[in-house]
Structure 1
Amino acid sequence: MSTNKCYRIGIVGAGNVTRMHLDGLKKNENRVKVTAICDPNSETLKERADFYNIEQRYTNLDDFIENSQVEVAIVCTPSVIRKEVIFPLIEAGIPIFCEKPFTETLKEAIEIDHMAKKYNVPISINQNFRSHYPFHFIRNLIAENQIGAITAVHFRDIFYRQDQGWRTQCERNSMSVMGVHWFDGFRLILNSEAKSLVCQTHSSPNVQCVGDTDASVQILFQNGVTVSYMQSFSSSYGSNQLIIIGTSGTIVADYNDISLFEVGAKNPVKTWKDPQGGQDLKADSAFNGLNELLLSIENNENASNSCEDNLRTISLLEAAYISSQEQRMVYFKPDGILEN
């Protein structure tokens, strides 16, 4: 059960994604209060702290840990430095809500998970697309038997994206940025873990970056359903579409709209708007993920978005890059963790 407790929140990392979190936190000040923020870039730190009226400001993580007295830390640093930021927070006993991707590699994710268990510190991951995109909504439709048994899933997310800064120098790009959302969503709607995966990636000269801009992935899940997924950051044409084929109907969805088709009907037989989805509610979806962590602390239970759960999502991400690099199919253990 929840309490009326209002938590002191500290932000580690003051980059662009921090604004989404702060917007969501600001709307829920009966539940959380942002009391401190930390970033080594003093200019960015001042800009973010001034705009959101955050009193305590730190350029050093050790000072933040020692003096801020925060009860929960939201980690929004670049994913390439996750461990060096999260380990000191764990050692200080501070619960963590971490921006996605949890880590860039499965090895590092497992190390953090083991460290968190050693110190009994809960960590949750901001897999906010579970509700920002209508994955939760669709999962409920499937549970209501709207399309019968699922036989296949087809998904494409193609558009043009030119990032700036540290992300352009990462070897892992399009799937670390967006694929981690979609891998997590496939797990959710299928209520199953992966069995095998094969992937091809490409880096387009149309986008200034080191890593992949395009990917084609096929995943066989343990329930027998195959997911075909296409990602592109280099397409002049933008399209996002999720198609879930069932034995008695097909669901077609994007960020906002969900339609149900049945054999013989040219038009949808039912349509829905996801009440939790869309760009306007993105900050709300991030806060809801944080609140899952807070509820798990209060109820002394694992959150559904825990770092332990996220090992399966990071396993899919790792598998995709291994498959592309080594030109082979990759397999998973029965628990959904990537085989060694």
Structure 2
Amino acid sequence: MKQFRIAIVGCGNISRMHFDAYVPHPDRIQIVAVCDTVPEHVQEIQQQYGVPQGFSSLEEMIQGAAWDVAVVCTPTHVRKQVVDTLAAAGKHIFVEKPFADSYQDAQHMVDTCQQAHVKLAVNQNFRYHYPFEMARQQVAQGKIGHVAAIVHQDLMLRQDAGWRIQQPRHALAIMGIHWFDGFRWILGDEATTLTCALNTSKAIQCTGETEAAITIQFSRGTLTSYVESFSSPRDRTETILIGDTGELVLTYEQMQLFDRDHRKTPREQWENPYRGTNKPVASFLGLDQLLTAIEQDAEPANSGRDNLKTVALLDGAYRSAETQHPVTFREGTPL
């Protein structure tokens, strides 16, 4: 197994999940450098995780340290410039989500990395942290037959701070990007139409939306209904997959299978091994997919090109809410 030298761009809160994910795997990952425009953040990370080199800019880190892959933990609105700089330096890139603020920016970054012959992957860690991968396997095996509908609720009381609350895109950019990707991942299918309505609750301090109601039609007929709330006093996150012969019910903790003979108690039940405090493991799995793709000169399942279709749903939701009209897609690409 090859060891890769990793540099982390951005030392904010989300970066700590990445450090916690990679430090237990020294045979695979050696974190050699970090950079952030706030020197105190760099110093804190170096002291806490023992990173040997710290820099105040990306350009300084490119010139001053030897490394193979960048993990980008910057705010989304500065990511395009960061990816451009990394690609020009010939660095492979693992980027936080949402990958981009717009489909146009995401397409630009994918094209830039392709032209530079570097690989680009996205940390869609909820494919594992939430039991989407478990459901994908059961659906692929025909455990519930054709999936006629997905009903998803994500309700919480969430007050963010800092740069996030200044952005015009809020709840969907933070959480919707996970769920859009999860629906695609479970079904192995792409959307054909999407409608969205947004609202902002006075209970939460932010510029963007706190509430969303979305309907998505997929090409093989699955109808998805999704509600997001950042102002709900009561937390509830649940995904119900309704199939011809059964039903899967997903929460962060577990997945349950029901059918006509088992309507009140599950026929089968699985615990999610990546739940709760095991969340960093899901990010390691994502990065390792990229590293394996580099070794094999292949495209990872979580590639930037694949993630374009997730960003298309996010971007389409905002466009539908603004125009009050459905957004249409062809093979996951917006029309």
TM-score (norm 1): 0.97
User: Could you list the runs of 5+ residues in structure 1 that have no partner in the other structure?
Assistant: none
Question: Which residue identity lines up with residue 338 of structure 1 in the other structure?
Answer: P
Name 2:266's counterpart in structure 1. Answer: 268
* Aligned-partner Cα distance in 2 for 1:282–1:68: 29
* Aligned-partner Cα distance in 2 for 1:152–1:210: 32
Name 2:291's counterpart in structure 1. Answer: 294
Name 1:311's counterpart in structure 2. Answer: 308
For residues 106-136 of structure 1, give each alpha carbon's deviation from its aligned partner in whole angstroms, at most 9, with x where no partner exists.
1100111111111111010000100111001
Name 1:85's counterpart in structure 2. Answer: 82
Name 2:151's counterpart in structure 1. Answer: 154
* Aligned-partner Cα distance in 1 for 2:41–2:271: 37
Name 2:37's counterpart in structure 1. Answer: 40
Question: Which residue identity lines up with residue 201 of structure 1 in the other structure?
Answer: L
* Aligned-partner Cα distance in 2 for 1:161–1:274: 24
* Aligned-partner Cα distance in 1 for 2:6–2:268: 42
Question: Which residue identity lines up with residue 272 of structure 2 in the other structure?
Answer: D
Q: Any idea what SS the aligned residue of 2:266 has?
A: coil
* Aligned-partner Cα distance in 2 for 1:264–1:124: 42
* Correspondence 1:166-315 to 2 at 5 A: 166-265=163-262, 266-275=264-273, 277-315=274-312
Cα shift at 1:48: 1.4
Note if 1:126 corresponds to 2:123: yes
* Correspondence 1:30-69 to 2 at 5 A: 30-69=27-66
Work out which of the residue numbers 330, 334, 338 in structure 1 matches 2:334: 338
For residues 170-202 of structure 1, give each alpha carbon's deviation from its aligned partner in whole angstroms, at most 9, with x where no partner exists.
000101100000000000111100000000011
Q: Any idea what SS the aligned residue of 1:8 has?
A: strand
Question: Which residue identity lines up with residue 224 of structure 1 in the other structure?
Answer: G
Question: Which residue identity lines up with residue 40 of structure 1 in the other structure?
Answer: T
* Correspondence 1:93-104 to 2 at 5 A: 93-104=90-101
* Aligned-partner Cα distance in 2 for 1:164–1:49: 24
* Aligned-partner Cα distance in 1 for 2:68–2:154: 37
Work out which of the residue numbers 102, 107, 111 in structure 2 matches 1:110: 107
Question: Which residue identity lines up with residue 154 of structure 1 in the other structure?
Answer: V
Name 2:326's counterpart in structure 1. Answer: 329
* Aligned-partner Cα distance in 2 for 1:174–1:82: 19
The aligned length equals 334
Q: Any idea what SS the aligned residue of 2:334 has?
A: coil
Question: Which residue identity lines up with residue 10 of structure 1 in the other structure?
Answer: A
Cα shift at 1:256: 1.4
Cα shift at 1:264: 4.3
Q: Any idea what SS the aligned residue of 2:47 has?
A: helix
* Aligned-partner Cα distance in 2 for 1:134–1:250: 14
* Aligned-partner Cα distance in 2 for 1:108–1:49: 32
* Aligned-partner Cα distance in 2 for 1:147–1:131: 20
Question: Which residue identity lines up with residue 336 of structure 1 in the other structure?
Answer: G
* Aligned-partner Cα distance in 2 for 1:257–1:288: 19
User: Could you list the runs of 5+ residues in structure 2 that have no partner in the other structure?
Assistant: none
* Aligned-partner Cα distance in 2 for 1:183–1:143: 19
Cα shift at 1:144: 2.0
* Aligned-partner Cα distance in 2 for 1:133–1:320: 22
- In angstroms, what is the RMSD of aligned CA positions? 0.8
Percent of aligned pairs with the same amino acid: 39
* Aligned-partner Cα distance in 2 for 1:305–1:146: 25
* Aligned-partner Cα distance in 1 for 2:76–2:277: 25
Work out which of the residue numbers 66, 70, 91 in structure 1 matches 2:67: 70
Runs of 4+ in structure 1 deviating by more than 2 angstroms, as ranges, are none
TM-score (norm 2): 0.98
